[in-house]
Chain A
Amino acid sequence: MTEIATPASAATDEARRQAEICNACRYCEGYCSVFPLMFRSRTFADADIVELANLCHNCRGCYYACQYAPPHAFALNLPRALAEVRAESWQRYAWPSALARLFQRSGVALVVAIVLAVAAIFLAMGALRPTGGRGFYAVLSHGAMVAIFTPLFLLPFLAMARGLARYWREVGGERVRLADLAAATGGAARLDNLAGGHGEGCNFEAGDRFTNTRRFAHQATAAGFLLCFAATASGTLYHYGLGWEAPYSLFSLPKLFGVPGGVLLTAGALALGLLKVRADPDLGAPDLWGGDIAFVLTLALTGATGLMLYAAGGTPLVPVILALHLGTVAAFFLTTPYSKMAHAFYRFAALVRDAQRRR
Chain B
Amino acid sequence: MSAPAPHYDVIVAGAGNAGLSAAIVAAEAGARVLVLESAPPAYRGGNSRHTRNFRCMHEGPLAVLTGRYGEDEYLDDLMRVTKGKTDADLARLVIRNSPDCLAFMRAHGVHFQPSLSGTLSLSRTNAFFLGGGKALINAYCNAATDLGIAIAYETEIRHVVVGEGGGFEALEVEVAGERRIVAGRTLVLAAGGFEANLDWLAEAWGPAARNFLIRGTPYNRGAVLRDMLDQGAASVGDPTQCHCVAIDGRAPKFDGGIASRLDCVPFSIVVNKDGRRFYDEGEDVWPKRYAIWGRLVAAQPDQVAFSIIDAKSADLFMPSLYPPVTADTLAELAAKLGLPAAALEETVAGYNAACRPGAFDPTELDGLATEALAPAKTNWARPINEPPFCGYMLRPGVTFTYLGLKVDESARVMGPRGRYPNIWAAGEIMAGSILGEGYLAGFGMTIGAVFGRIAGREAAAVANA
Contact = CB atoms under 8 A, between A and B. Distances in A.
Chain B interface size, as a band, is 20 to 34
Contact of B42 (A23, A39, A71, A196): A71
Contact of B134 (A30, A42, A65): A65
Contact of A26 (B116, B129, B134, B323): B116
A27 B130 CA distance: 7
Contacts of B117: 26, 29, 36, 39
Given A66-B134, A67-B132, A25 B252 contact: no
Contacts of B255: 67, 72-73
A67 B254 CA distance: 12
A24 B134 contact: no
A134 interface: no
B48 to A, nearest CB: 10
Nearest to B314: A42
A209 interface: yes
A72 B49 CA distance: 12
Interface residues of A, number: 33
Given A20-B323, A24-B319, A208 B130 contact: no
Contact of B130 (A30, A66, A71, A209): A30
B319 A65 contact: no
Contacts of A200: 111
Contact of A27 (B116, B320, B321): B116
Interface of B is mostly: loop
Contacts of B257: 25, 67-68
B385 interface: no
Contact of A25 (B130, B135, B258, B323): B258
A4 interface: no
A208 to B, nearest CB: 4
A190 interface: no
Contact of B131 (A28, A42, A71, A74): A28
A21 B259 contact: yes
B138 interface: yes
B388 to A, nearest CB: 14
Given A21-B321, A30-B114, A67-B49, A197 B130 contact: yes
A42 B313 CA distance: 13
A73 B252 contact: yes
A42 B315 contact: yes
Contacts of B42: 69-72
Given A24-B259, A39-B117, A31 B131 contact: yes
B253 to A, nearest CB: 10
A68 B93 CA distance: 34
A208 B134 CA distance: 10
Contacts of A20: 319, 321-323
Nearest to A209: B142
A198 interface: yes
A21 to B, nearest CB: 6
A247 B231 CA distance: 88
Interface string B250-281: 00100101111100000000000000000000
A31 B135 CA distance: 11
A25 B113 contact: no
Interface of A: 20-21, 23-31, 36, 39, 42, 61-62, 64-74, 196-198, 200, 208-209
8 contacts: A20-B319, A24-B319, A31-B131, A64-B135, A65-B135, A73-B255, A197-B113, A198-B130
